[in-house]
Amino acid sequence: MPNPTERILELEGELQSLRLELTAQRRTTDQLKLELERQRGGETARLATAQIEKLLQDVATPVSQLLTQTHLLKVENRPVQANDVLAIVARLVRALEDHGLTIEGVIGHSVAFDPNRHEPLSMEEELEPGQAVIIRLVGLAYRGKLLRRAGVVAGE
């Protein structure tokens, strides 16, 4: 049977060895966590890029058509049919809606003024919450976040 001093030294050696092993395992765990976060960030970036590419692909044709109409009017001085332009705009808006854009309000509709969702078109108009107003410019939201408040005037 080893003497108590030798046993203590042996146990201290084991303890030191286990501490070193634990430190190495913690370091490995930390490195793996960092690698996982880096990969998750890369995947998020790839998803965002894919979504943007899909959006741009979906709006490419209407945008190209609008640019053609602009060229015809401004460069070639040829008349442009308003109905053609409106049809292109409708396709563009539809593509944006397919990607999460929401139109807030309907032009010409009377609604109760909500300062969080509406803005007066005239700085001279002081509108009170709940007051009847008419929407003149629609608002826009993306996935529930308001991007632009609807432009309104006081109701008649």
Rounded to 5 degrees, φ, ψ at 153 are -125, 160
- CATH code at position 155: 2.30.22.10
The torsion angle over the Cα atoms of residues 143, 45, 36 and 38, rounded to 10 degrees, is -130
Whether 95 is covered by a domain: the verdict is: no
Whether 113 is covered by a domain: the verdict is: yes
* Joined tokens for residue 58: 């979906």
Whether 87 is covered by a domain: the verdict is: no
Contacts of 109 (CB under 8 A, 6+ apart): 134, 135
The count of structural domains within the chain is: 1
The torsion angle over the Cα atoms of residues 99, 87, 66 and 48, rounded to 10 degrees, is 10
Residue ranges making up the domain that contains 138: 102-156
Whether 136 is covered by a domain: the verdict is: yes
pLDDT digits (tens, 9 = 90+) for 123-140: 888 899 999 999 999 999
* Joined tokens for residue 23: 């430190």
Q: How far apart are CA 133 and CA 144, in angstroms?
A: 23
Q: What is the mean pLDDT of residues 53-79?
A: 94
Q: What is the pLDDT of residue 101?
A: 95
Q: How confident is the model at residue 88 (pLDDT cuts 50, 70, 90)?
A: very high
